[in-house]
Amino acid sequence: MKVDVLLGLQWGDEGKGKVVDYLAPKYNVVARFQGGPNAGHTLEFDGHKHVLHQIPSGIFRENIKNIIGNGVVLDPVVFKKEIEGLAKFEINLKANLFISKKTQLILPSHKLLDAAYEQSKGKNKIGSTLKGIGPSYQDKIARNGLRVGDILAPGFEERYRNLVSKHENTLKHYEFEYDLAAAEAPFFEAIEFLREFNLVNSEYLINKSIQSSDTVLAEGAQGSLLDIDFGSYPYVTSSNTMTAGACTGLGVAPQNIGEVFGIFKAYCTRVGGGPFPTELFDATGEAIQKEGNEFGATTGRARRCGWLDLPALKYAIMINGVTQLFMMKADVLSILDEIKICTAYKLSDGTITEEMPFQLLDEEVKPIYETLPGWKDDITGVRSMDDMPAALESYIKYIEEATGVPIKIVSVGPDRTQTVIN
């Protein structure tokens, strides 16, 4: 069977974790293909609220193989903590969790470099989660990185020391104080812990599933507007967050990609720095932030909020080949009398465009809005499209017509059950 891909179409935190957990029973395999502990995917079910960072969001469902793919960067310390946090759920991790030997490791010194780079950028800082993502991918591309499979071979510690001494040389060029030694004991403890798991050539696992009748769901992290190539560069993450990233991050041939599920919030949020044309700086923005509980699942930072941005959404649909849209957090907009949607941008030279410009700089890109009526109805208990308020149906139709892609799921709350099929 082909591999379905589920990914965020905005700046991350669209609700990917919730939907992967919801859809997981339909799949035999759930696989993460990029990113690392910068991700925070929230799942709510049976009164539990759980945030996953590196472990795929199919882990709470029975009999599903969860794979951490080669495109991921893995922090063993975060991994150990995450696994320990799962203990109360009595999950059979031996049967359900597999890690690619080609997954890159995040070293403690990668986190130091992340912090040093950010500090040196001053007011232009990216707003990184400081989890060592950029420096780890940097080592991968520079062909210096250490991979999960390397921990099984003799000489790992020596290779570690060699790489760390390179990092320390780099750190000398920054005014940055650090204590690496304190972080090393937990790191090596976590490496020992990691050895006990299924460390595999996951591209074979995935491709055997493709050859058989097994179904595979690839779970994206971050969102398309944070993609290293197509996002709001340089305010992006360091991986390809798009469908193509699932091919390289798992070893899946393009013709074996099936459905592409694009997840978006009924509005927009962004955490960290960088341009955000439809950002709201007023009471409406604050109200959305409060109602949507828009605080980061990884860093706890407040998420910036704004209106839905159709040019950006259409761009994300285009580069990902989205076949189905899922609209999240529709319930949050229930507080509003009217809702705006950005339909085009006016550029500083007066041009009106529906295309994403090279740079999304605030002074150059002004959103043009259409205003639609709000529904002002509590929809958190709705489970069928027949019971949706007419104004919400119109909002959905408007987006479907503008994008040409059907909205197949409407999410009306954080719980697994608060999910409506369209």
Beta strands in 266-328 (DSSP E): 268-270, 304-306, 308-309, 324-328
Single out the residue of 7, 8, 163, 206 in contact with ligand GDP (rule: CB under 6 A).
8
107 versus 392: smaller Cβ distance to ligand IMO: 107
Q: Are 100 and 69 in contact (CB under 8 A)?
A: yes
Angle at 243 between CA 242 and CA 249, to 5 degrees: 90
Q: Are 68 and 147 in contact (CB under 8 A)?
A: no
37 scored as a contact of ligand GDP (CB under 6 A):
no
Measured from the CB of residue 223, what is the shortest distance to ligand IMO in angstroms? 6
Q: Is 200 helix (H, G, I), strand (E, B) or coil?
A: strand
The residue count of the chain comes to: 422
Q: Which residues are catalytic?
A: 13, 41
The option from Mg ion, ligand IMO, ligand GDP, none interacting with 232 (CB < 5 to 8 A, set by class) reads: none
Task: State the Cα–Cα distance between residues 94 and 196, nearest whole angstrom.
Answer: 9
Measured from the CB of residue 315, what is the shortest distance to ligand GDP in angstroms? 19
Measured from the CB of residue 41, what is the shortest distance to Mg ion in angstroms? 6
- Smallest CA-to-CA distance from 53 within 32, 38, 67, 65 is with 38
Q: In Å, what is the CA distance from 88 to each residue of 60, 91, 138, 275, 284?
A: 11, 8, 36, 41, 40
294 scored as a contact of Mg ion (CB under 5 A):
no
306 versus 413: smaller Cβ distance to ligand GDP: 413
82 scored as a contact of ligand GDP (CB under 6 A):
no
Q: Which of residues 292-321 bind ligand GDP (CB under 6 A)?
A: 292-293, 297
311 scored as a contact of ligand IMO (CB under 6 A):
no
316 scored as a contact of ligand IMO (CB under 6 A):
no
The option from ligand GDP, ligand IMO, Mg ion, none interacting with 134 (CB < 5 to 8 A, set by class) reads: ligand IMO
56 scored as a contact of ligand IMO (CB under 6 A):
no
Q: Are 371 and 364 in contact (CB under 8 A)?
A: no
Q: Which of residues 23-42 bind ligand IMO (CB under 6 A)?
A: 35, 38-41
Give buried/exposed letters for 89-116 (b at 16+ CB in 10 A, else e).
eebebeebbbbbebbbbbbbbbbbbbbb
The residues of the shown chain that bind ligand GDP, judged by CB under 6 A, are: 8, 12-18, 40-42, 44, 292-293, 297, 328-329, 331-332, 411-414
